[in-house]
Amino acid sequence: MVPFAAAPDGVRLAVRLAPKAAASRIVGLIEDGSGGVALKVAVTAPPEAGKANDALLALLAKTLGLKRRDIQLVLGAADRRKLLHIAGDPAALAAQLTERLGPWLKRG
């Protein structure tokens, strides 16, 4: 099971964010409570004035080899549960995410 799904103009990525962590990193997969999974990500930024969201998007762009402008927060600006949209070709992005997130997907 993967934390992303194809969308008409990209992919949607489910994330569970942990702000004010000791280090910014991808933790792994976590059940989302509705039968799916989300990517658990920790960031050192506090959950105020969008700082944690900005840190999340920057970390994912770097880790996934994407441009920051191609990742948007769709749902969950003030929630730990977030839905992100990554713009691009859905098939190519799915392959790229599977490769880049491979170590964490295998643990799930």
Give the model confidence (pLDDT) of 31-67 as tens digits: 987 888 999 999 999 999 999 999 999 999 999 999 9
**CA-CA distances (angstroms) from residue 107 to 6, 50, 54, 70?**
22, 30, 26, 27
pTM here is 0.93
| pLDDT exceeds cutoff 50 at 108 | no
| pLDDT exceeds cutoff 80 at 106 | no
Contact indicator for 101, 37 with CB cutoff of 8 Å: no
Q: What is the DSSP string of 41-63?
A: EE-SS-SSTTHHHHHHHHHHHHH
Q: Band of the pLDDT at 107, cuts 50, 70, 90?
A: low
Contact indicator for 59, 84 with CB cutoff of 8 Å: no
CATH class of 4-107: alpha beta
